Protein backbone atom coordinates (compact mmCIF):
# COMPACT_ATOMS: atom_id res chain seq x y z
CA UNK A 1 0.00 0.00 0.00
CA UNK A 2 2.65 2.45 1.09
CA UNK A 3 4.87 1.44 -1.78
CA UNK A 4 2.15 2.01 -4.37
CA UNK A 5 1.38 5.40 -2.81
CA UNK A 6 5.02 6.44 -3.12
CA UNK A 7 5.02 5.15 -6.69
CA UNK A 8 1.93 7.20 -7.56
CA UNK A 9 3.41 10.25 -5.91
CA UNK A 10 6.65 9.93 -7.85
CA UNK A 11 4.71 9.53 -11.10
CA UNK A 12 2.58 12.61 -10.35
CA UNK A 13 5.68 14.66 -9.60
CA UNK A 14 7.37 13.55 -12.78
CA UNK A 15 4.30 14.51 -14.83
CA UNK A 16 3.97 17.89 -13.13
CA UNK A 17 7.58 18.56 -13.90
CA UNK A 18 6.87 18.02 -17.60
CA UNK A 19 9.21 19.97 -19.85
CA UNK A 20 11.55 20.99 -17.08
CA UNK A 21 12.44 17.34 -16.32
CA UNK A 22 14.27 17.32 -19.65
CA UNK A 23 17.65 18.97 -20.11
CA UNK A 24 17.12 22.67 -20.77
CA UNK A 25 17.71 23.95 -24.28
CA UNK A 26 20.60 26.38 -23.87
CA UNK A 27 20.98 29.51 -25.96
CA UNK A 28 24.38 31.17 -25.56
CA UNK A 29 24.44 34.95 -25.91
CA UNK A 30 27.98 36.20 -26.59
CA UNK A 31 27.60 39.93 -26.05
CA UNK A 32 29.67 42.97 -25.02
CA UNK A 33 28.58 43.71 -21.44
CA UNK A 34 31.77 45.55 -20.46
CA UNK A 35 34.28 47.60 -22.45
CA UNK A 36 33.52 50.30 -25.05
CA UNK A 37 30.40 48.53 -26.43
CA UNK A 38 28.89 47.65 -23.05
CA UNK A 39 25.60 49.46 -23.67
CA UNK A 40 25.18 47.51 -26.92
CA UNK A 41 25.48 44.06 -25.31
CA UNK A 42 23.28 44.99 -22.39
CA UNK A 43 20.56 46.22 -24.73
CA UNK A 44 20.59 42.96 -26.71
CA UNK A 45 20.40 40.85 -23.55
CA UNK A 46 17.58 43.08 -22.25
CA UNK A 47 15.73 42.56 -25.54
CA UNK A 48 16.18 38.78 -25.45
CA UNK A 49 15.08 38.59 -21.82
CA UNK A 50 12.03 40.76 -22.47
CA UNK A 51 10.97 38.35 -25.22
CA UNK A 52 11.32 35.32 -22.95
CA UNK A 53 9.42 37.10 -20.17
CA UNK A 54 6.55 37.91 -22.53
CA UNK A 55 6.41 34.56 -24.34
CA UNK A 56 7.36 32.11 -21.61
CA UNK A 57 10.43 29.90 -21.32
CA UNK A 58 8.99 26.69 -22.79
CA UNK A 59 8.98 26.22 -26.58
CA UNK A 60 8.06 23.03 -28.42
CA UNK A 61 8.14 21.21 -25.07
CA UNK A 62 11.68 22.35 -24.29
CA UNK A 63 12.63 24.71 -21.48
CA UNK A 64 14.78 27.58 -22.75
CA UNK A 65 17.77 28.75 -20.77
CA UNK A 66 19.70 31.87 -21.79
CA UNK A 67 23.41 31.52 -21.05
CA UNK A 68 24.72 35.09 -21.10
CA UNK A 69 28.48 35.64 -21.51
CA UNK A 70 30.47 38.89 -21.69
CA UNK A 71 33.07 39.17 -24.47
CA UNK A 72 34.31 42.44 -22.91
CA UNK A 73 34.28 43.99 -26.43
CA UNK A 74 37.29 41.78 -27.26
CA UNK A 75 37.11 39.37 -30.23
CA UNK A 76 39.66 36.87 -28.86
CA UNK A 77 37.57 36.61 -25.74
CA UNK A 78 34.43 36.03 -27.82
CA UNK A 79 36.21 33.16 -29.54
CA UNK A 80 37.20 31.53 -26.26
CA UNK A 81 33.67 31.91 -24.91
CA UNK A 82 32.21 30.35 -28.07
CA UNK A 83 34.49 27.34 -27.63
CA UNK A 84 33.43 26.95 -23.99
CA UNK A 85 29.76 27.34 -24.78
CA UNK A 86 29.91 24.76 -27.55
CA UNK A 87 32.12 22.19 -25.84
CA UNK A 88 31.29 22.52 -22.12
CA UNK A 89 27.84 24.10 -21.92
CA UNK A 90 26.61 22.31 -25.04
CA UNK A 91 24.52 25.27 -26.18
CA UNK A 92 22.10 24.48 -28.99
CA UNK A 93 21.97 27.97 -30.48
CA UNK A 94 24.17 31.09 -30.26
CA UNK A 95 23.25 34.80 -30.30
CA UNK A 96 26.23 36.73 -31.72
CA UNK A 97 27.15 40.35 -31.01
CA UNK A 98 29.36 43.09 -32.42
CA UNK A 99 31.11 42.67 -35.78
CA UNK A 100 34.65 41.76 -34.58
CA UNK A 101 33.26 39.13 -32.18
CA UNK A 102 30.76 37.70 -34.65
CA UNK A 103 33.53 37.36 -37.27
CA UNK A 104 35.84 35.43 -34.93
CA UNK A 105 33.17 32.92 -33.91
CA UNK A 106 31.99 32.25 -37.49
CA UNK A 107 34.44 29.35 -38.17
CA UNK A 108 33.56 27.74 -34.83
CA UNK A 109 29.80 27.73 -35.36
CA UNK A 110 30.35 26.45 -38.90
CA UNK A 111 32.41 23.53 -37.67
CA UNK A 112 29.96 22.70 -34.87
CA UNK A 113 26.94 23.35 -37.16
CA UNK A 114 25.27 25.58 -34.59
CA UNK A 115 22.50 27.92 -35.71
CA UNK A 116 23.72 31.42 -34.84
CA UNK A 117 21.56 34.50 -34.81
CA UNK A 118 23.57 37.70 -35.35
CA UNK A 119 21.82 40.20 -33.09
CA UNK A 120 24.19 43.19 -33.40
CA UNK A 121 26.73 43.13 -36.23
CA UNK A 122 25.91 45.56 -39.03
CA UNK A 123 28.69 44.58 -41.45
CA UNK A 124 27.44 42.91 -44.62
CA UNK A 125 30.30 40.37 -44.59
CA UNK A 126 29.32 38.82 -41.25
CA UNK A 127 26.58 36.46 -42.39
CA UNK A 128 28.65 35.51 -45.45
CA UNK A 129 31.22 34.00 -43.11
CA UNK A 130 29.09 31.05 -42.05
CA UNK A 131 26.13 29.17 -43.54
CA UNK A 132 24.94 28.80 -39.93
CA UNK A 133 24.54 32.55 -39.42
CA UNK A 134 21.37 34.55 -39.86
CA UNK A 135 20.85 38.23 -38.95
CA UNK A 136 18.13 40.06 -36.99
CA UNK A 137 19.96 43.38 -36.59
CA UNK A 138 20.63 45.50 -39.70
CA UNK A 139 23.41 46.38 -42.10
CA UNK A 140 25.00 49.80 -42.31
CA UNK A 141 24.50 49.57 -46.05
CA UNK A 142 20.71 49.48 -45.63
CA UNK A 143 20.50 52.81 -43.78
CA UNK A 144 23.36 54.45 -45.70
CA UNK A 145 21.85 53.66 -49.11
CA UNK A 146 18.45 54.98 -48.06
CA UNK A 147 20.01 58.16 -46.65
CA UNK A 148 21.68 58.74 -50.05
CA UNK A 149 18.48 58.04 -52.00
CA UNK A 150 16.49 60.40 -49.83
CA UNK A 151 19.08 63.17 -50.21
CA UNK A 152 19.16 62.67 -53.96
CA UNK A 153 15.42 63.30 -54.09
CA UNK A 154 15.61 66.29 -51.81
CA UNK A 155 18.16 68.46 -53.55
CA UNK A 156 21.93 68.54 -53.92
CA UNK A 157 24.22 69.34 -51.03
CA UNK A 158 27.90 69.60 -50.17
CA UNK A 159 28.70 66.73 -47.85
CA UNK A 160 31.64 65.56 -45.71
CA UNK A 161 31.54 61.87 -44.72
CA UNK A 162 32.85 60.97 -41.27
CA UNK A 163 32.90 57.33 -40.17
CA UNK A 164 34.90 55.08 -37.86
CA UNK A 165 37.58 52.95 -39.39
CA UNK A 166 36.22 49.36 -39.24
CA UNK A 167 34.09 47.16 -41.47
CA UNK A 168 30.67 48.72 -40.61
CA UNK A 169 32.07 52.25 -40.98
CA UNK A 170 33.77 51.56 -44.29
CA UNK A 171 30.63 49.89 -45.65
CA UNK A 172 28.57 52.85 -44.56
CA UNK A 173 30.88 55.34 -46.32
CA UNK A 174 31.26 53.22 -49.47
CA UNK A 175 27.56 52.53 -49.95
CA UNK A 176 26.63 56.17 -49.30
CA UNK A 177 29.22 57.48 -51.77
CA UNK A 178 28.28 54.95 -54.47
CA UNK A 179 24.61 55.76 -54.18
CA UNK A 180 25.01 59.52 -54.11
CA UNK A 181 27.39 59.56 -57.09
CA UNK A 182 24.56 59.92 -59.61
CA UNK A 183 22.84 62.78 -57.75
CA UNK A 184 23.52 66.54 -57.46
CA UNK A 185 25.12 66.08 -54.06
CA UNK A 186 28.91 66.43 -53.81
CA UNK A 187 31.26 64.75 -51.36
CA UNK A 188 33.85 67.40 -50.50
CA UNK A 189 35.87 65.35 -47.99
CA UNK A 190 35.85 61.82 -46.50
CA UNK A 191 37.30 61.28 -43.03
CA UNK A 192 37.83 58.08 -41.06
CA UNK A 193 38.24 58.13 -37.28
CA UNK A 194 39.62 55.46 -34.95
CA UNK A 195 36.90 53.28 -33.40
CA UNK A 196 38.08 53.14 -29.80
CA UNK A 197 37.99 56.23 -27.56
CA UNK A 198 37.80 58.68 -30.44
CA UNK A 199 38.59 62.34 -29.96
CA UNK A 200 36.17 63.81 -32.46
CA UNK A 201 37.59 67.35 -32.23
CA UNK A 202 40.25 67.26 -34.98
CA UNK A 203 37.84 65.55 -37.38
CA UNK A 204 35.06 67.99 -36.62
CA UNK A 205 37.47 70.87 -37.21
CA UNK A 206 38.48 69.48 -40.60
CA UNK A 207 34.85 68.83 -41.50
CA UNK A 208 33.97 72.39 -40.56
CA UNK A 209 36.80 73.82 -42.64
CA UNK A 210 35.37 72.13 -45.74
CA UNK A 211 32.22 74.28 -45.28
CA UNK A 212 29.72 71.53 -46.12
CA UNK A 213 25.93 71.73 -45.85
CA UNK A 214 25.92 68.43 -43.98
CA UNK A 215 28.17 65.88 -42.31
CA UNK A 216 27.25 62.26 -43.04
CA UNK A 217 28.19 60.61 -39.77
CA UNK A 218 28.36 57.02 -38.56
CA UNK A 219 29.34 56.51 -34.92
CA UNK A 220 28.34 53.26 -33.20
CA UNK A 221 25.59 53.05 -30.62
CA UNK A 222 26.88 54.55 -27.36
CA UNK A 223 29.03 57.30 -28.93
CA UNK A 224 26.25 59.55 -30.28
CA UNK A 225 25.93 61.62 -27.10
CA UNK A 226 29.63 62.56 -27.00
CA UNK A 227 29.74 63.16 -30.74
CA UNK A 228 26.78 65.55 -30.74
CA UNK A 229 28.17 67.40 -27.70
CA UNK A 230 31.48 68.03 -29.49
CA UNK A 231 29.68 68.91 -32.73
CA UNK A 232 27.81 71.64 -30.86
CA UNK A 233 30.87 72.76 -28.83
CA UNK A 234 32.84 73.23 -32.06
CA UNK A 235 30.01 75.39 -33.41
CA UNK A 236 29.17 73.24 -36.43
CA UNK A 237 25.45 73.61 -35.76
CA UNK A 238 25.79 77.40 -35.56
CA UNK A 239 27.70 77.33 -38.86
CA UNK A 240 24.53 75.81 -40.36
CA UNK A 241 26.02 72.33 -40.86
CA UNK A 242 23.51 69.50 -40.52
CA UNK A 243 24.08 66.00 -39.18
CA UNK A 244 22.82 63.24 -41.50
CA UNK A 245 23.46 59.50 -41.70
CA UNK A 246 22.45 56.15 -40.21
CA UNK A 247 20.36 56.62 -37.05
CA UNK A 248 23.04 55.21 -34.75
CA UNK A 249 24.03 58.81 -33.91
CA UNK A 250 20.59 59.84 -32.59
CA UNK A 251 20.29 56.62 -30.58
CA UNK A 252 17.02 56.44 -28.63
CA UNK A 253 18.60 55.76 -25.25
CA UNK A 254 20.82 58.88 -25.50
CA UNK A 255 18.75 61.22 -27.66
CA UNK A 256 16.85 62.97 -24.91
CA UNK A 257 20.11 64.11 -23.30
CA UNK A 258 21.53 65.62 -26.50
CA UNK A 259 19.83 69.00 -26.18
CA UNK A 260 17.44 70.96 -28.36
CA UNK A 261 20.21 71.71 -30.87
CA UNK A 262 19.55 68.25 -32.40
CA UNK A 263 15.93 69.10 -33.20
CA UNK A 264 15.47 68.80 -36.95
CA UNK A 265 18.29 66.26 -37.47
CA UNK A 266 17.34 63.85 -40.26
CA UNK A 267 18.63 60.25 -40.19
CA UNK A 268 17.77 56.91 -41.81
CA UNK A 269 17.24 53.86 -39.60
CA UNK A 270 15.35 50.64 -38.95
CA UNK A 271 14.01 51.40 -35.50
CA UNK A 272 12.61 54.34 -33.57
CA UNK A 273 11.02 54.15 -30.13
CA UNK A 274 8.45 56.49 -31.66
CA UNK A 275 7.45 53.99 -34.39
CA UNK A 276 3.68 54.45 -34.37
CA UNK A 277 2.46 50.80 -34.41
CA UNK A 278 0.42 49.32 -31.58
CA UNK A 279 2.96 46.55 -31.24
CA UNK A 280 5.78 49.04 -30.72
CA UNK A 281 3.82 51.15 -28.27
CA UNK A 282 3.16 48.06 -26.14
CA UNK A 283 6.79 46.95 -26.46
CA UNK A 284 8.20 50.35 -25.42
CA UNK A 285 5.73 50.57 -22.51
CA UNK A 286 6.60 47.04 -21.31
CA UNK A 287 10.31 47.78 -21.42
CA UNK A 288 10.08 51.20 -19.78
CA UNK A 289 7.95 49.82 -16.97
CA UNK A 290 10.89 47.67 -15.88
CA UNK A 291 13.75 50.01 -16.88
CA UNK A 292 14.13 53.76 -16.67
CA UNK A 293 15.43 54.26 -20.19
CA UNK A 294 14.11 53.96 -23.73
CA UNK A 295 14.66 50.76 -25.75
CA UNK A 296 17.03 51.57 -28.60
CA UNK A 297 17.65 49.91 -31.98
CA UNK A 298 20.04 47.34 -30.47
CA UNK A 299 17.39 45.99 -28.12
CA UNK A 300 15.05 45.02 -30.94
CA UNK A 301 17.80 42.88 -32.53
CA UNK A 302 17.84 40.72 -29.37
CA UNK A 303 14.06 40.69 -29.09
CA UNK A 304 13.53 39.65 -32.72
CA UNK A 305 16.45 37.22 -32.49
CA UNK A 306 14.55 35.34 -29.81
CA UNK A 307 11.37 35.45 -31.89
CA UNK A 308 13.21 33.87 -34.80
CA UNK A 309 14.61 31.16 -32.51
CA UNK A 310 11.20 30.42 -30.93
CA UNK A 311 9.42 30.18 -34.28
CA UNK A 312 12.15 28.02 -35.80
CA UNK A 313 12.02 25.64 -32.81
CA UNK A 314 8.25 25.36 -33.22
CA UNK A 315 8.78 24.40 -36.87
CA UNK A 316 11.41 21.75 -36.05
CA UNK A 317 9.41 20.46 -33.06
CA UNK A 318 12.26 21.32 -30.71
CA UNK A 319 14.94 19.70 -32.88
CA UNK A 320 18.11 21.83 -32.61
CA UNK A 321 19.99 20.32 -35.54
CA UNK A 322 21.75 23.30 -37.15
CA UNK A 323 20.71 22.48 -40.71
CA UNK A 324 17.07 22.00 -39.73
CA UNK A 325 16.99 25.24 -37.74
CA UNK A 326 18.60 27.19 -40.57
CA UNK A 327 16.09 25.77 -43.05
CA UNK A 328 13.28 26.79 -40.71
CA UNK A 329 14.62 30.32 -40.33
CA UNK A 330 15.12 31.04 -44.02
CA UNK A 331 12.23 33.01 -45.46
CA UNK A 332 10.59 33.62 -42.07
CA UNK A 333 8.42 36.76 -42.00
CA UNK A 334 6.93 38.51 -39.01
CA UNK A 335 5.88 41.79 -37.49
CA UNK A 336 8.53 43.31 -35.24
CA UNK A 337 8.23 46.40 -33.05
CA UNK A 338 10.23 48.07 -35.86
CA UNK A 339 7.66 47.09 -38.52
CA UNK A 340 7.42 44.14 -40.95
CA UNK A 341 10.65 42.13 -41.33
CA UNK A 342 11.80 38.90 -42.98
CA UNK A 343 14.85 36.71 -43.45
CA UNK A 344 16.07 36.57 -47.05
CA UNK A 345 16.14 32.85 -47.89
CA UNK A 346 19.18 33.26 -50.18
CA UNK A 347 21.42 35.45 -48.05
CA UNK A 348 20.12 34.73 -44.49
CA UNK A 349 20.13 38.48 -44.04
CA UNK A 350 17.37 40.68 -42.71
CA UNK A 351 15.00 42.52 -45.03
CA UNK A 352 13.31 45.49 -43.36
CA UNK A 353 11.84 48.94 -43.77
CA UNK A 354 14.24 51.84 -43.41
CA UNK A 355 12.57 54.99 -42.16
CA UNK A 356 13.60 58.61 -42.65
CA UNK A 357 13.19 60.34 -39.31
CA UNK A 358 13.51 63.85 -37.94
CA UNK A 359 14.28 64.70 -34.33
CA UNK A 360 11.27 66.46 -32.81
CA UNK A 361 10.10 67.36 -29.33
CA UNK A 362 6.97 65.51 -28.29
CA UNK A 363 5.52 66.07 -24.78
CA UNK A 364 8.80 67.69 -23.74
CA UNK A 365 10.97 64.80 -24.95
CA UNK A 366 13.12 64.33 -28.04
CA UNK A 367 12.17 61.54 -30.44
CA UNK A 368 13.14 60.33 -33.91
CA UNK A 369 9.82 60.88 -35.68
CA UNK A 370 9.48 58.74 -38.79
CA UNK A 371 8.09 60.59 -41.81
CA UNK A 372 9.02 58.51 -44.87
CA UNK A 373 9.39 54.76 -45.38
CA UNK A 374 11.58 52.80 -47.80
CA UNK A 375 9.98 49.38 -47.76
CA UNK A 376 11.58 45.93 -47.55
CA UNK A 377 15.17 47.12 -48.00
CA UNK A 378 17.75 44.39 -48.63
CA UNK A 379 21.45 44.68 -47.83
CA UNK A 380 22.77 46.67 -50.83
CA UNK A 381 26.31 45.27 -50.52
CA UNK A 382 25.08 41.71 -51.16
CA UNK A 383 22.74 42.91 -53.90
CA UNK A 384 25.71 44.57 -55.67
CA UNK A 385 27.80 41.38 -55.48
CA UNK A 386 25.16 39.34 -57.30
Residues in contact with ligand PHB by the rule CB under 6 A: 40, 98-99, 120-123, 168, 220-221, 248
Nearer to ligand PHB, 64 or 217 (CB): 217
DSSP string, 220-232: -TTSHHHHHHHHH
Nearer to ligand PHB, 133 or 313 (CB): 133
Q: How far is the CB of 140 from ligand PHB (least distance, A)?
A: 6
CA distance to 140, 155, 179, 181, 359, per residue, from 152 (Å): 18, 6, 9, 9, 20
Nearer to ligand PHB, 320 or 352 (CB): 352
Contact 95, 30 (CB under 8 A): yes
Nearer to ligand PHB, 142 or 320 (CB): 142
Nearest-5° Cα angle at 183, 177 to 187: 40
CA distance to 26, 86, 222, 383, per residue, from 65 (Å): 5, 14, 28, 36
Contact 370, 276 (CB under 8 A): yes
Chain centroid to CA 276: how far? 20
Q: How far is the CB of 44 from ligand PHB (least distance, A)?
A: 10
Q: How far is the CB of 7 from ligand PHB (least distance, A)?
A: 56
Q: How far is the CB of 99 from ligand PHB (least distance, A)?
A: 4
Local structure of residue 154 (DSSP, 8 states): T
Q: How far is the CB of 131 from ligand PHB (least distance, A)?
A: 20
CA torsion sign, 118 to 119 to 125 to 126?
negative
Q: How far is the CB of 305 from ligand PHB (least distance, A)?
A: 14
Nearer to ligand PHB, 121 or 161 (CB): 121
Q: How far is the CB of 31 from ligand PHB (least distance, A)?
A: 11
Nearer to ligand PHB, 123 or 159 (CB): 123
Nearer to ligand PHB, 251 or 344 (CB): 251
How many CB atoms neighbour CB 111 within 10 A? 11
Phi-psi region of 73 (alpha: psi -120 to 50; beta: other; left: phi over 0): left
Q: How far is the CB of 18 from ligand PHB (least distance, A)?
A: 39
Nearer to ligand PHB, 213 or 248 (CB): 248
Nearest-5° Cα angle at 295, 289 to 297: 165
- Length of the chain (residues): 386
E strand or H helix that includes residue 146:
helix 140-153
Amino acid sequence: MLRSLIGALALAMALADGASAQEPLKIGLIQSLTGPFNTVGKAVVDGAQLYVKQHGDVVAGRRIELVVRDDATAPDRAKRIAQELIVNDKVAIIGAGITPSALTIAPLVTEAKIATVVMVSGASITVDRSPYMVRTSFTLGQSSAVMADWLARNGGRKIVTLVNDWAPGIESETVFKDRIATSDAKIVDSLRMPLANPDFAPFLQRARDAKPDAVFIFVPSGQGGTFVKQFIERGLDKAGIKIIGPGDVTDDDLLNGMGDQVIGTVTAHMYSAAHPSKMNKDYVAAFMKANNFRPNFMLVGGYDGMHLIYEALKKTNGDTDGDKLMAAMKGMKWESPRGPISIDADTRDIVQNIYIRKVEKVDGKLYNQEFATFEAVKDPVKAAKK
